[in-house]
Amino acid sequence: MPVVKTDFAENRTIDLSVVVPIFNPGDSFVDHVVSLYSLTEQLGQDIEIILVNDGSIDLKTDRIPKQILGKITLLSHSKNLGKGAALRTGFKRAKGNWIGFIDADGDIPAHYLIQMTNAINFKSNEGSEMANPDILISSKAMEESRIHSSVLRKMSSLGFSYFIRILFDLPIKDTQTGLKIFSKTVLDKIMNLSEEDGFLIDLELLNLAMIHGFMNIKEVPVTIIKRHNSTLSAKTVTSMLIGTVKLKFRLSKMARTEIKI
């Protein structure tokens, strides 16, 4: 069970909840949180920020300005449970009509949330279908995207993306970039079916959404600055490959027995 350290909650309507899963994120973490908070005024919507400390060692939240720390929600796991578990903890607390997440290390700058939210009509359901997508995802695979990382990491990412395309019939090329936004309707439908505790949570949620008929997915280009403190080891990659195959079998069984795609 998560330990609640700080919970900023008021009786108000939330347009967007942003969950930040945190595990030993590196020195850029505090600046990233400050940047995220600054967007709440720039975007002109009512936004809540939920930090989920997934068993980090010496997170240094005391470095976050008090006026900001007092206006965000901070939840903590007593031990590291994985990105998926951290996201579910945050999602359960989220009050927004749209609920998203962004990586904690700052590799994806906070201002990309502006680009994402521009695709959402917060105040009404009017407009074209794509003006109110079911899901928005940042994508490294778009021509406009710029990735500043090592050749080895780029090759690993491309290889994993190809592996996913072989196993899953998804209309997108990049499932793993750490900035996504879901409508509350989508998450309400699929969260109880989510089981992935690690990095495969992104892939699982996208597949669960599509199995349940949420096909309106909008991709947004992104720039990834650099990898500050990667938590992807060789052991993790191997585990992800094995886990991906297991996820394929579980979702295939679900599609056959519960829902006809």
For the stretch 9-45, pLDDT in tens is 555 678 999 999 999 988 889 999 999 999 877 776 7
pLDDT for position 8:
52
pLDDT at 251 over 80: yes
pLDDT at 151 over 70: no
Look over the chain and give the mean of its residue pLDDT values, rounded to a whole number: 84
Higher pLDDT residue, 157 or 90? 90
pLDDT at 117 over 50: yes
pLDDT in tens, 171-228: 888 998 999 999 999 999 999 999 999 989 999 999 999 999 999 999 988 888 765 5
Which residues fall within 8 angstroms of residue 212, CB to CB, at 6 or more apart?
A: 186, 189, 190, 259
Higher pLDDT residue, 102 or 152? 102
pLDDT for position 1:
47
pLDDT for position 160:
83
- Which tokens in the block code for residue 17? 């909840």
Percent of the chain surpassing pLDDT 70: 83
Domain-by-domain residue ranges, the chain? 3-257
- Report long-range pairs for 122-126 (Cβ below 8 Å, ≥24 apart): 122/15, 122/16, 122/45, 122/97, 122/98
CA-nearest of 117, 92, 123 to 188 is 92
Rounded-to-integer distance, Cα 61 and Cα 59, Å:
6
Rounded-to-integer distance, Cα 88 and Cα 178, Å:
15
pLDDT class for 140, splitting at 50, 70, 90? confident
pLDDT for position 154:
66
CATH architecture for the domain at 3-257: Alpha-Beta Complex (3.90)
